[in-house]
């Protein structure tokens, strides 16, 4: 009798296992077909969004949600959850469930939030003819966007935690692809949440704001992208924007002592010019420090306290002109995206003999572009894209005098807080003109990462800087303020550039490689980073290549650099 009972019990267990296996197969089929269908929809949506067709996102969401809901129901089945505890196979069942839940959460919350960001910032919420931006939709959307960003990070963390080494080969690729995709979605929603929370108060939703607009001139390089060339004052109130003042750097002349106390580190690497001349306030690669110095000078010389500082370079202006279309500067010249760099950085210096007149022309073009933006001229969707591109390349920088806002900005690349933000693993390569001229238009720069070593006890990479100087044959005949007024002792037309290299925090720097040899200069430690400053001297037609080896942490090598006419301000390589 006992043997029979055992046999029947075993038979019962076997039947249960067969039923469970069959049921599990049904659930696996449901989950698999639904996920494949969802994948097809996502692939098509990626293509639509890349082509600018965001309307399809809203139209296809119900279909995508239905597929993921089916898959989620299948993977939430008790039999499925039991299968997750099986040896070997369990990790695969668990991975499919985590992927399904994470995708469903992101599609339910994140994609609609991204659509809200697009709706608010694109044409439907464009500035009107009076320059006013309707802040109501952004204020209304902010809580949902912030909540979606938090949810996206939870989903990202769950997917990143999947051990792909325990999965069957068929799952490894899709899971790794999703891990990367989740990171991108979380990053996009972070940006959207920052816009939704920062933009309304910064545009005067809670009261008037005043900003100092700084135009950077890439014909004379500084770490931030170019010398400070002109100022304007922006008044913001309830989304309405207006310019209230415009000044040349001639209005803020050099002073005998720094406007703010400088640290010993700053004096060693940047010299006291950092605080004495507004043109040189952007020698440091840390924009919050530059902004503080500029705001202090403006308060002292103009008697006006500002709520923030915004800086932009000419390439960023070109991106904006591609969206707004041509503008007419105060003197009557029409400026287009195709010729703005040549007109501002070459022709103006060849045709205008007086520096003050050239500065006034530069400032006039900058104001004309701003007014075109404020008036809603051109393609507003394109304008959003242009501003995003400029920000991603370090061509637009923003600092707020309000501590809570600045805390958020300092964590982003648009805040450009290289030394004071949380970017310890990034290296830096920054360029500062040493000729005191306007020859940067003829300099081609390129920063790349090569020889990326991802294994071993101390992974490393080589950061490479290429400089190529190609001025016109008659360069020596250009005005003195173009060829340079610094006492370099070099032949007229020779370009001198100070190259400052920063290691990641906690790392030191050895001598820098220069072509086939090595070169050394001023050595220091700034904000825990090893620093080297060397001087490049290029005669017409010459080129140089610098190399430096730096540590790679967590499989990523990020390099912050000076955005120039030929290269962006950020370079990244990953293992």
- Residue 54, token pair as written in the block: 């965001």
- % of residues, the chain, pLDDT over 90: 47
d(CA 121, CA 102): 27
pLDDT tens-digit series, residues 209-236: 999 999 999 999 999 999 999 999 999 8
- Asked whether the beta carbons of 43 and 50 are under 8 A apart, the reply is no
Domains of the chain (ranges; CATH) run: 12-202 (no CATH), 209-400 (3.40.630), 423-574 (2.60.40)
Half-sphere exposure of 447 (CA within 13 A, CB side): 27
27: pLDDT strictly greater than 50 = no
- Residue 545, token pair as written in the block: 């290549």
d(CA 570, CA 560): 5
d(CA 518, CA 500): 15
- Asked whether the beta carbons of 362 and 407 are under 8 A apart, the reply is no
d(CA 389, CA 323): 12
Q: Give the per-residue pLDDT at 28.
A: 47
Residue positions counted in the chain: 575
All residues at 6 or more sequence positions from 188 whose CB lies less than 8 Å from its CB, including other chains: 114
- Asked whether the beta carbons of 163 and 91 are under 8 A apart, the reply is yes
Q: Give the per-residue pLDDT at 404.
A: 93
Over its C-alpha atoms, the chain yields an Rg (Å, rounded) of 28
CA distance to 132, 244, 245, per residue, from 237 (Å): 9, 13, 16
pLDDT tens-digit series, residues 318-367: 999 999 999 998 889 899 999 999 999 999 888 887 888 888 888 888 88
pLDDT tens-digit series, residues 46-100: 555 445 455 555 666 676 677 677 767 777 777 778 777 878 777 877 877 877 7
- % of residues, the chain, pLDDT over 70: 81
- Asked whether the beta carbons of 71 and 100 are under 8 A apart, the reply is yes
Across the beta sheet with 443-450, the strand order is 443-450, 460-469, 543-551, 512-514, 517-519
283: pLDDT strictly greater than 80 = yes
Q: Give the per-residue pLDDT at 119.
A: 66
Q: Enumerate the β-bridge partners of residue 549.
A: 462
Q: Give the per-residue pLDDT at 44.
A: 55
- Asked whether the beta carbons of 101 and 75 are under 8 A apart, the reply is yes
Q: Please, what is the average pLDDT of the chain?
A: 83
Q: What is the mean pLDDT of residues 251-264?
A: 96
Q: Give the three-state DSSP class for 54.
A: coil
Q: Give the three-state DSSP class for 307.
A: coil
- Asked whether the beta carbons of 461 and 573 are under 8 A apart, the reply is yes
pLDDT interval class at 430 (50, 70, 90): very high
């Amino acid at each position: 009798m006992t043997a029979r009972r055992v046999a029947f019990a075993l038979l019962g267990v076997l039947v249960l296992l067969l039923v469970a296996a069959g049921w599990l197969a049904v659930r696996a089929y449901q989950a698999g077909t639904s996920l494949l269908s969802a994948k097809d929809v996502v692939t098509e949506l990626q293509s639509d969004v890349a082509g600018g067709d965001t309307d399809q996102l809203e139209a296809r969401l119900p279909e995508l949600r239905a597929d993921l809901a089916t898959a989620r129901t299948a993977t939430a089945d008790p039999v499925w959850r039991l299968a997750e505890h099986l040896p070997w196979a369990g990790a695969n069942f668990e991975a499919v469930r985590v992927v399904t839940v994470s995708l469903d959460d992101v599609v339910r919350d994140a994609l609609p939030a991204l659509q809200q960001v697009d709706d608010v910032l694109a044409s439907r919420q464009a500035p009107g003819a009076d320059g006013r931006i309707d802040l109501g939709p952004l204020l209304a959307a902010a809580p949902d966007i912030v909540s979606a960003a938090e949810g996206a990070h939870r989903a990202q963390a769950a997917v990143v935690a999947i051990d792909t080494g325990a999965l069957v080969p068929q799952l490894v690729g899709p899971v790794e692809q999703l891990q990367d995709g989740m990171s991108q979605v979380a990053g996009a929603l972070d940006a959207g949440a920052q816009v939704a929370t920062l933009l309304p108060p910064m545009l005067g939703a809670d009261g008037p704001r005043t900003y100092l607009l700084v135009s950077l001139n890439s014909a004379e390089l500084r770490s931030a992208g170019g010398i400070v060339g002109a100022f304007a004052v922006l008044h913001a109130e309830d989304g309405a924007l207006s310019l209230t003042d415009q000044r040349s750097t001639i209005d803020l002349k050099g002073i005998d002592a720094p406007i703010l106390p400088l640290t010993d580190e700053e004096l060693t690497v940047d010299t006291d010019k950092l605080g004495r001349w507004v043109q040189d306030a952007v020698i440091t690669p840390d924009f919050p420090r530059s902004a503080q110095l500029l705001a202090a000078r403006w308060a002292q010389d103009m008697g006006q306290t500002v709520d923030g500082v915004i800086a932009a370079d000419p390439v960023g202006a070109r991106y904006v002109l591609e969206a707004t279309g041509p503008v007419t500067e105060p003197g009557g010249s029409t400026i287009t995206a195709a010729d703005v760099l040549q007109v501002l950085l070459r022709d103006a210096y060849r045709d205008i003999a007086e520096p003050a007149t050239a500065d006034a022309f530069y400032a006039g073009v900058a104001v004309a572009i701003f007014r075109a933006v404020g008036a809603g001229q051109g393609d507003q969707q394109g304008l959003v894209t242009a501003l995003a591109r400029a920000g991603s390349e370090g061509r637009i920088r923003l600092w707020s005098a309000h501590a809570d806002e600045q805390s958020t900005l300092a964590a982003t690349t648009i805040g450009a807080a290289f030394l004071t933000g949380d970017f310890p693993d990034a290296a830096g390569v920054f360029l500062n003109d040493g000729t005191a001229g306007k020859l940067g238009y003829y300099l081609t720069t390129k920063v790349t990462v090569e020889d990326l070593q991802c294994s071993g006890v101390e992974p490393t990479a080589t950061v490479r800087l290429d400089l190529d100087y190609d001025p016109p044959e008659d360069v020596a005949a250009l005005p003195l303020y173009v060829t340079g007024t610094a006492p370099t002792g070099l032949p007229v037309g020779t370009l001198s550039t100070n190259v400052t290299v920063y290691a990641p925090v906690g790392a030191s720097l050895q001598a820098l490689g220069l072509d086939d040899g090595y070169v050394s200069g001023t050595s220091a430690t700034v904000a825990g980073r090893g620093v080297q400053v060397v001087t490049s001297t290029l005669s017409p037609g010459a080129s140089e290549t610098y190399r430096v080896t730096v540590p790679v942490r967590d499989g990523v090598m990020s390099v912050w650099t000076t955005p120039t006419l030929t290269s962006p301000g950020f370079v990244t390589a990953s293992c």
